[in-house]
Structure 1
Amino acid sequence: MRLLVTGGAGYIGSVVTALLLDSGHDVVVLDDLSTGHQVAIPKGAQFVHGRVHDVIGEVLTPDFDAVLHFAAFIAAGESVRKPEKYWENNLIGSLRLLDAMRSAGVRRLVFSSTANVYGDPDAVPIPETAVTRPPNPYAASKLAVDHALAGEATAHGLAAVSLRYFNVAGAHVRADGSLMGERHDPETHLIPIALQVAAGRRDKLELYGDDYPTPDGTCVRDYIHVTDLAAAHLLALSTMEPGTHRVFNLGNGNGFSNRQVVDVVREVTGHPVPTEIGPRREGDPVTLVASSEKAQRELGWKPAKPALSQMVADAWEFLRR
């Protein structure tokens, strides 16, 4: 298939691009490099430098079979301070994409959504039927796109899948032995920041709050290996239904507190990770743990690398290289 990957220079988008290329697909990456890195785009993909809002009408032609949409800002904390940035980029950019897909007759879309749309859930693990309570503009912008996809599917026959990610970690190992990992700047995710502390690139790790109603007072999250996450996108492409918007949670079904994650980083790296407790970060849910039964049942997806220690070890190897 001929596929367009928006945001394909980012962490997850680049790994999905690599798997698509390895599967024999023709891939075009569209990215403005505002948060992505051109060096992360796998060889073999055609690269178009530009913003979805500005160039999607020129890039997306009728010969494309589908779009995988990753282009978004993802820092939940920043979205509380700058909500307009997230609505303009994440929602309006997605609406421009849907306009271009309709005009070009491209009728298949896989969307990078987030488990953050559930906010503080009533129960865990979280099924796709759980009530959505987005706790920040980032999550709200993603949920708004989910609603737009549902309307587009009903009105215009779009085949759409939203994949709601839980916390993604690790590095993808390609067939040639090269590694693809996180390159966020600034980095906002717990595991890579903890690894930077272990490597001596930071003095300490700040944990945002230790007074949550959890066993050790820190937030609890479900972690999924980036290779497992990327594999789900290929499965989604093969099981899409015209006129239908389907939603799948992607996680391991296991929760780890922030303190537990730091302990695993210390164990894997053999280095100290000094921590400091800071104030709670606005918009952070207490516990997010996935039920991925629907993805396993309907997509045939199952995590191949569920161990948190494996995710940390792969990310550590990427950082050291």
Structure 2
Amino acid sequence: MTVLVTGGAGYIGSHMVLALVDAGEKVVVLDNLSNGFRWAVHPAAELIVGDVSDQDLVERIVKARGIESIAHFAAKIVVPESVADPLGYYLANTVKTRALFAAAVAAGVKHVIFSSTAAVYGTPEHNPVREDARPHPESPYGTSKLMSELMLADAAKAHGLAYVVLRYFNVAGADPDGRSGQSTPNATHLIKVCCEAVLGLRPGVSVFGTDFPTADGTGVRDYIQVSDLVAAHLDALRHLRKGGGNLTLNCGYGRGYSVLEVIEMVKRVSGVDFPVTLGPRRPGDPAAIVAGADRIRGEIGWRPKFDDLTTIVGQALAWERIQAARRAA
């Protein structure tokens, strides 16, 4: 049974491909390479350069390769950018996802694993936030993902699709074997930004918001290691293949760190100091969001291996050094 991974040349998608290949699965990657890289795709996987909105292409791929399951990662993911360009985000994350789902239904796909986000919750009333909390996205990014969740649920009822929606918290770290990591130029992920500052690739780190109602005034997030995240996708795939029901699950550890705590951790792990600039909040950023992480363990048996911020930072630093060596070669 072949798995189609959309966005499989990107950060999280490439790790999913690694995990599937390691598990002996046949993998086809569909990526337009707008944010992904050919070199990031495992050589055992087939890469097809194209867009998920091309319904004819998706149908041909599914039918020709006997694909039964789709893991959908392709998306735009930067919250402030979505505030500035909402229509671009609704196109990339909602309109194109609708086209993918239509092609999946037409071609007889059985299972869909959908990459969603904790941004659907906005600023939750309670932390940790559970999956049954009322969604209240505060950015077009979060709204675009919530709309896709609703589309998937409705399509499943009408056409018999089986699905798992995984709501990501803050993804960080890299493949423990150094095969892939966060490589997007000008990425906004805090840990990556800090690691680039360690290596002198950035002049320093900007903190957006110091007056949040948190212990130190900076935003608090739940950081999940990328290999643990994709392990949840494999657990979700096994669940669906066994005939399990449709699920919506948080992907996080249930513990939060503030922006300043993360910065200090990167400084400690690296042994390098770097400038930190304090600034105002960005639109769309909640004060704090931490995953209620019990359901994912109970429903699909997920057991994380890298639930340690020191480890996550160390992996991210190691990947940045690999990237620097590649650029210098």
Calculate the TM-score normalised by the size of structure 1: 0.97
The equivalent residue for 1:250 is: 251
Q: Distance in 2 between matches of 1:313 and 1:72?
A: 27
Within a 5 Å distance, the mapping from 1:215-294 to structure 2 comes to 215-240=215-240, 244-294=245-295
Task: Report the Cα distance in structure 1 between the residues aligned to 2:32 and 2:248, rounded to whole angstroms.
Answer: 27
Distance in 1, Cα, partners of 2:304 & 2:255: 12
How far apart are the structure 2 equivalents of 1:135 and 1:82?
14
Counterpart mapping for 1:103-142 below 5 A? 103-142=106-145
Q: Which residue of 2 is the match for residue 213 of structure 1?
A: 213
Residue 243 of structure 1: how far off its partner (Å): 9.6
Report Cα offsets for 1:153-203 as digits up to 9, x if no partner: 111111011000100111112xxx443110112211100001111111111
Match of 2:12 in 1: 12
Residue 78 of structure 1 aligns to a residue whose secondary structure is: helix
- Deviation readout 1:199-237 (Å, 9 max, x if unpaired): 111111000010111111100000011110010000000
Q: Determine helix, strand or coil for the equivalent of 2:303.
A: coil
Give 3-state SS (helix, strand or coil) of 2:63's partner. Answer: coil
Structure 1 portions without partners, runs of 5+: none
Contact 2:9 2:41 in 1 (8 A): yes
Whole-Å Cα distance in 2 between the matches of residues 295 and 48 of structure 1?
A: 32
Give me the whole-angstrom Cα distance separating, in 1, the residues matched to 2:63 and 2:72: 16
Number of the residue aligned with 1:22: 22
8 A contact 2:83–2:283 mirrored in 1: yes
Cα deviation, 1:131-159, whole Å, max 9, x if unaligned, reads 11111011101000110111011111110
Deviations 1:13-54 (A, max 9, x none): 000110001111110000001111111111200000011112
* Residue 89 (structure 2) pairs with residue 86 (structure 1): yes
The answer to whether the Cα contact below 8 Å between 2:118 and 2:169 also exists between their aligned partners in 1 is yes
* Cα pair 1:262 1:273 within 8 Å, conserved: no
Note closer, same or farther for the CA distance 1:47–1:256 as it changes in structure 2 (3 Å cut).
same
Match of 2:58 among 56, 59, 79: 56
Q: Distance between the aligned counterparts of 1:59 and 1:73, measured in 2?
A: 23
- In structure 2, runs of 5+ residues without a counterpart are 323-329
Separation in structure 2 between the aligned mates of residue 127 and residue 16 of structure 1, nearest angstrom: 25
CA distance in 2, matches of 1:20, 1:187: 26
Superposed, 1:39-188 pairs within 5 Å as 39-54=39-54, 55-61=57-63, 63-173=66-176, 177-188=177-188
Cα drift, residue 58 of structure 1? 2.9
Task: Tell me, in whole angstroms, the C-alpha distance in 2 between the residues paired with 1:68 and 1:296.
Answer: 20
Counterpart-to-counterpart distance in 1, 2:272 and 2:31: 36
Please give the secondary structure, in 1, of the residue aligned with 2:200. coil
How far is 1:292 from its partner?
Answer: 1.1
Runs of 4+ in 1 over 6 A off after TM superposition: none
Amino acid at match of 1:183: S
User: Using the alignment, how far apart are the partners of 2:178 and 2:142 within structure 1?
Assistant: 33
- Percent identity of paired positions between Structure 1 and Structure 2: 43
User: Does the Cα contact within 8 Å between 2:178 and 2:318 map onto a contact in 1?
Assistant: no
What do residues 233-263 of structure 1 show as CA deviations (whole Å, max 9, x unaligned)?
Answer: 0000011276953100010111100000000
Tell me, yes or no, if the aligned pair for 1:154 and 1:243 is still in contact at 8 Å.
Answer: no
**What letter matches 1:96 in structure 2?**
A
Cα distance in 2 for partners of 1:40, 1:299 equals 28
What amino acid is aligned across from residue 66 of structure 1 in structure 2?
A: S
TM-score where L is the length of structure 2: 0.94
The amino acid across from 2:98 in the alignment is L
| Distance in 1 of aligned mates of 2:112 and 2:276 | 41
